Chains A and B, each alone.
Chain A
Amino acid sequence: MEAIYGLPVIGLFFQLIAYLFEAIPNNGAIILGLAAPIALGALCGIMNERSGVVNIGIEGMMLSAAFAGFVAAGFSEPYLPQFEIELFSITAPLLVGVLAAILTAMALSLLHAWLSITIRADQIISGTIINIAALGLTGYLNRLVVSPNPRVGAGTFSSFSVPREVSEFPVIGWIIDMFFDQGPIGMSVIFLVIVLQILLFRSRWGLRTRAVGEHPKAADTVGIDVIRLRYRNVIIGGIFAGLAGAFLTLEATSSFQNGMTSGRGFIALAAVIFGRWTPIGALGAALLFTAAGAVGRAVSIRPPTDELAQLGQLLEGVPNEFYQALPYVITIVVLAGVVGRSIAPAAIGQPYEKETKAA
């Protein structure tokens, strides 16, 4: 190997590959932890877009859910029974927080459904309003409620620790470790993705949802209630956005900052497109978008040494901001390269109106 690594330029490329092979398995759990909110947001996007509704308000739903979850958990703590389940260190306030987060995102989804399905307002404007309202309201309430009580907070869920024998299992050990060395919400991602994938392509509900997203008029003709199904799917989609928000303030960190979603809701939209509107594809896209960020973090913690020293010297010169911007850059590059070949549900963005006698 050392002979190859010694080659000019190409050698560096091989060193990088070798480093990624080392770094990615070691950071699997971190990568999934970064990808989880994006994957959950993408599931919300899939629920919406598969039924023909554009939802660019996922970012705002996540942010509001993150805030509501944090506040509900923190302020309910003194009034709730004290118990702690060892697994995930589940406590009553944390459960209340998750519930509040989900309900908040569902309420915002209801608003989005009402605006875009009933009122037939422009769907992109509706989503934009949710984003602006979420940023404004959480900022306002954060100043009003959280800032005067800096010690409020209910902690976080803890990760499940995978037994050493399993995580050190050759080849697939790190993959198991990646998906299961997680808190409850992070661990649920893989299950939710698989369940939604099966439901969407193997169930009656899935067929109907896809029909409504592709050709609502035809779906209406065979007796599917387009309006009702769209409402239901948009609101259920809110559950995923709520979980994504809860993940941010109850599992990944135990604090809330204004605008802490920092574009994850929009990266989720790109993950939906790159994953071709399938849950598994979206999870893959989310992992791809965040792997770069995780590798960047790995470089700063433990830069490549020994055989890979040459690469290490090179990476040392790369500024930290580069790694911060990398997920956004990759999102753009992927989106630009993939959109022409990726076909959206045909009725996306169009409000449906039943034909009436007057027309």
Chain B
Amino acid sequence: MTDTDGTVQRELEQDPAGPVAAAPQARIPPPRPRSLGARILQVSAVPVAAVLLAFLVGSVFILVSTLFTDREFDLFLPWTAYTSLLFGAFGGLNPIVDTMVAAAPLILGGLALGLGFKAGLFNIGAQGQFLMGGLGAAAVGASVASLPTPIAIAAAVLAGAAVGALYGFIPGMLKALTGAHEVVTTIMLNFIAAAIIAYLVAGPLGAEGFAFARTGPVGNAALPDLPGTRNLNLGVLLALLAVPIVWWILSRSTFGFEIRTVGANPNAARYAGMRPALVIMTTMAACGLLAGLAGVIEILGVTGFINTSYGTSVGFDSISVALLGRAHPVGILFAAILFGAMRAGAPEMQLDAGIPVEIIDVLQAIILLFLAADILVRRLLRIRVARAGVDELQTVTRSYGEQAAP
């Protein structure tokens, strides 16, 4: 169960050069290139190839979908669709702002997932933590709406982050104390969060005088636009700042070291004097805080309120972002911008090419498929590059059938 040889063995068998050629150096991972550029190429080759291949496969979907619509068959439709997607995402200042605003919650959500991965935790509950964080910010924001701006913003942001952290702490505590696996409990908490919002927004937290049930206006707690810009709100800056902070915590702090050790091998961490249960609980709370912040900036920066049936795709998108970014903060940043661009550019594509915006979800799934079957991509590339996977996921899957850590 705890042998690490299995992974090496897997590397050996999946090596494109074949087991015989690779046998002598089998236990040495691909040589670590000296220059930064070569290292970036090594870790990003598979994810980038997966994205490109996904767009290729996606074009088949687009062609097939013309069979169901009134449009005539057009071999260049995928090209039209993708160029208008690109134009809608990056063609000018406003589209770029839209892309960044769409990417910001994905950056935070992706970091929430990535941080969990590093501790061997699969936090599918980013959705619920996002919603609860957004609810906290909307509720507190509405009640401090007339206070001075800095105080109002600070109160609303902190409230949302705290509610999100608490909502992440619950499955962490359940896992640490009882062994209930976070994959199931966090999904259940997502549905519970939706019910809580439906109840609170229609009842105690609802505002008077609107045609539908929603929270009151956030007034001064709304995140202002950055100086000299339009719609580029403070939340985007907050999300961008979170990247170096999480990177620092993970790779330079004691807490980060404990997270990575527990993620690599909880038993070894225990023997080294760490307390995996404590690390799991605090990490899940931190994940909840990040996902909650994603909800905060979406509510305070974009919508300004939350209603009873508030829906979002940030939860699932964050999973894809973290996997595509290989759970590394910088990778997550780029993956989030990619998905943000797709979300921001999709309406333009629907307008120009008549492709439903839901194609983005399909593309996302194909990207993930290529990442999971990364051996195919590596064969295609014919180069020795690092696996695309997140190594700590082995701990996630192993813990599915395991008992609670004492």
Contacts and interface: CB of A to CB of B under 8 A. Distances in A.
Interface of A: 49, 54, 56, 115, 119-126, 128-129, 132-133, 135-137, 139-140, 142-145, 262-263, 266-267, 269-270, 273, 319, 321-322, 324-325, 328-329, 331-332, 335-337, 339-340, 343-346, 348-350, 353, 356, 358-359
A336 B188 CA distance: 12
Kindly state the interface size class of chain B when it binds its partner.
35 or more
Q: Main SS of the interface on chain A?
A: helix
Given A128-B124, A328-B192, A335-B178, 17 more contacts: A115-B373, A125-B389, A139-B358, A140-B65, A144-B65, A144-B69, A144-B356, A266-B187, A321-B199, A322-B195, A324-B198, A325-B191, A325-B192, A332-B189, A339-B180, A345-B401, A349-B400
B181 to A, nearest CB: 7
Interface stretch (B104-112, B161-169, B316-324): B316-324
Contacts of B230: none
Interface in B120-138: 122, 124
Name the residue in B174, B180, B316, B362 with the highest tally of chain A Cβ atoms < 10 Å from its Cβ.
B180
A122 B394 contact: yes
Contacts of B362: 133, 136-137, 140
Given A332-B185, A348-B400, A129 B10 contact: no
A126 B178 CA distance: 26
B63 interface: no
Contacts of A143: 356, 358
A121 B372 contact: yes
15 contacts: A54-B397, A115-B373, A121-B372, A125-B323, A136-B362, A140-B65, A140-B359, A144-B65, A269-B183, A273-B184, A324-B198, A331-B184, A339-B181, A340-B403, A358-B23
Contacts of B199: 319, 321-322
B400 A266 contact: no
B358 A136 contact: yes
Contacts of B198: 321, 324
Given A124-B400, A266-B184, A321-B196, A139 B361 contact: yes
Contacts of A145: 68
Contacts of B184: 266, 269-270, 273, 331, 335
Nearest to A129: B368
Nearest to A270: B184
Given A144-B68, A345-B401, A353 B361 contact: no
Contact of B401 (A129, A349, A356): A349
B396 interface: yes
Interface stretch (B12-20, B84-92, B260-268, B277-285): B12-20
A332 B68 contact: no
A49 to B, nearest CB: 8
Contact of B9 (A54, A128, A139, A353): A353
Contact of B188 (A121, A129, A263, A358): A263
A352 B397 CA distance: 14
A348 B10 CA distance: 18
Contact of B361 (A121, A132, A267, A348): A132
A329 B178 contact: no
Contacts of A356: 13, 19
A133 B319 CA distance: 13
B361 A136 contact: yes
A214 to B, nearest CB: 11
A132 B364 contact: yes
Query: Which of B10, B14, B198, B373 is most buried by chain A, counting CB atoms within 10 A of its CB?
Result: B373
